[in-house]
A = this chain, B = another copy of it.
Amino acid sequence: MSRAATMLRSHPRPASVPVDAVAACIDACLDAAQACTACADACLAEPQVAALVECVQRALDCADVAEVSARLLTRQVGAGLAVVRKQLEACAAACDACADVCERHGHLAHCRECADACRTCEEACLRVLQDPPPPRGYGLDGM
């Protein structure tokens, strides 16, 4: 069980959200954020950096968006369902945009890894977004 899952389960209020999907999404967001920060840095060290500028920029955006998405998912109470959902939509879009460019650079190991992390994160966000909100209670359901 990842730390995120352990932390969600140690929360004083019982979660009405599916903890496993949320924990998986938190982990995927942090993984993608780290991979994007690393990929941007590695692209900057490539001899053909001028051809990788768009990749750097999308990776920087995705790192920022994914990191904040992990924070909002971690806070089980807070801004509520509407805000978390919109943030996850932004995250899925940022992951898709970064992966689209990284997938064009399949000859670079860091771009392959980054694309993999971004696609996993995109899917995890979409999975949480597809879960119907719980009928009532606490969690992502609109506090």
Contact = CB atoms under 8 A, between A and B. Distances in A.
Nearest to A42: B11
A40 B56 CA distance: 10
Counting every copy of the chain, the complex holds 4
B97 A34 contact: no
Majority-rule SS of A interface residues: helix
A63 B39 CA distance: 18
Q: Report the contact-size class of chain A (Cβ under 8 Å from the partner).
A: 35 or more
Given A34-B70, A57-B77, A58-B79, 4 more contacts: A37-B70, A60-B78, A65-B68, A65-B87
Interface of A: 3-4, 6-8, 10-13, 26, 30-31, 34-35, 37-42, 44-47, 49-50, 53-54, 56-58, 60-65, 67-68, 70-72, 74-80, 82-83, 86-87, 89-90, 93-94, 97-98, 108-110, 113-114, 117, 143
